[in-house]
Structure 1
Amino acid sequence: MTIKDLHEKGLVLFDAISGSRAYGLATDTSDTDKKGVFYLPRDHFFGMEYIPQVGSDRNDIVYYEVGRFAELLSKSNPGALELLATPESCVLYRHPLMELFLPEFVLSKQAQTTFSGYAMTQIKKANGLNRKMRTPEPEERKSLLDFCFVPDKARTIPVRNWLAASELREEHCRLTRLDHTRGLYAIHYDPADTFGGLTAGDQIRCSSVPKDSPVVAYLFCHQDGYEMHCRRHREYRDWLANRNEERYRVNEQHANGYDAKNMMHTIRLLEVALRLFQTGRLEIVSDNRVELLSIKRGEWSYDDLLARAEQLIRETDAAAAISDLPAEPDRPRIEKALVGIRDVLYSGT
């Protein structure tokens, strides 16, 4: 199922411009993001091909299946709630059935936790860009052998260095496991035979040895460190291949060690939550454009932004405590609305 399929088969229930253009924060270089809601053909829904979400490769266009959308609303998911509150100027299409999801069903004090929690997660993610920018991963991924060490009294020596210092060749080494240990192996050496090396791809190469084969040293393999390196290297290469060059250029210029656009939307999200508990309405168009765009330009330090976020969370907590909103979304009424939508959609099929 593709985005093209959704439109050509008339499966779209809600279609809207999202992101900066919906929040009133667009600039000349802003992309046009889209989000929406669709429903599955009857055979897909009742069969074994349920598809909860359809999106583009860059994830700048995302459509939620109506059941998944209802589920997200019942959990006060910030993205789903903001989609429901899209300003009319950004709504491209709204099926009349979407009117069954009323704001009073979904707005609740539960948003205090979900909005703040999501914002703090994004703050950490934004700062994580610093590592990618300042400590890039090498072009070539390290091998498992780079994470193997030989204990030597109170220290460890990289196994490559140990081999060189001992004037031994890796291909003449055999490894045997040591019982009741993790990552520790005995090294046996036989210059008259060749065994293929200490590792085989991403695994330690172990083999049997004669009972009287002497142990020349022990080898420790830091498998967890190797797997972490592989994950970081993969994430870095993916980021390098898919990063938004204009966004990267801005972040590199301000040199504050965070993703400025990410932080702008984090502060914006917390301001949306605060207004929700102050007014009882979810309004996503920002009334703080000047300050938010200054964050996007990287004019704030990370510490100042963190302090601003923590202040907004405290204010949101205080506003939520005296808000008239219910404690949780009205799940039975959300479910009833969903059932009603499906009844209409599948009644003629």
Structure 2
Amino acid sequence: MSSIEELLYRARPGGESAAAAIRNLLDLGAAVLDQAVMAFERDPWGSPGLAEVIRRNRSPEAVAVHLTNLTSGSLELSRFAMEAVGASGDPVAVQHLVDLLTNEEEFETHRALAASALGAHVGGDVPAVLRETVDRQAAQAVDDEDPRSLLIGAVVALAKHGDNSRSPLLLEIASHSDSAAWEEAVQGLEVAVVDGMIETLGTITRNPSPVAAVLAAKPLFLLGDVKSCETLRVMAGVDDYDVSRNAMSYMWRLLGTEPRDSGELDVARHEWDSIASTMVEGVCYRTGHPVDIPQLVEELTNNEDSWLRGQLTDEVQNRTGIDVAGALLHEQEQELAHWVDERRFVAGSLYRWGHRQEIPAG
């Protein structure tokens, strides 16, 4: 086994144990990209570490390779090639994503992946293209069996650019749990911010499907305001164990107390009443106080619990738009703290992908 083959083998499973091998492969750059792609294609679902090597290889030479894989027969390879191109900052390469997105003769699955990848690109006319795509898709007649991935992907990508003008479409889709698209629409509300979303998510918690209520908890948690917290508290009291446990987990993180068993709901209510009396409307809370993003970063970098680190990594990226996972992979914890401090995030304010947003009404 050659040294590169050994690195590919060690990187394949991903996770902290594979981080050193992934870094080594990334240091080798485009020279190993073809081999990484070939190894990935043999087992795309079982190779999360190789996916990281592909999506984070963004040199000009690597981008040239990615462009040949944008419409690969493997959707997973296409996804990671597009992510690399979208995050590369190369305007010529990004134009290939725009062309793919706007080409109605292309498969909708590839166009949806292109829309999602464009959420990472800064500059140019990308938001205008995304708006046009959403409007075209929204005007088309659909049925409940249509996953609407292109529409939702474009709406969420647009929200990552700070534009929530099309986000009400997510509420419309999320309100119909018999639609094939409602799950993706609810998950889109983790990024998008739109008036009426708390009420819609609260309605979902009363849906007979426990899957719906479990998914609705995370966007409520990320809002962290009085109304969304109260909706989470109601959800924690339902009979379904998975729904209640999930809502309780988010509640404890919002309250800033130690996790408890879902059977201790009375204790949770008492602590909630104590903290809720101090909460102000229009403020985003976390750990019982107005959210402080630098403090979240400190909690992330000092925490040794791998599950919680994963949760915090996702949350900090959602709030800041910074590639937090990439910073941790490259052991750039101090740099991450510096990048966050430079942004001067206002404590208690709601941010999505680095853009300050108003707490939604209802």
Structure ID, larger Rg: 1
Question: Which structure is higher in RCO with an 8 Å CA cutoff and minimum separation 6?
Answer: 1
Which structure has greater strand proportion? 1
TM-score after normalising by structure 2? 0.25
Which structure has greater helix proportion? 2
TM-score after normalising by structure 1? 0.26
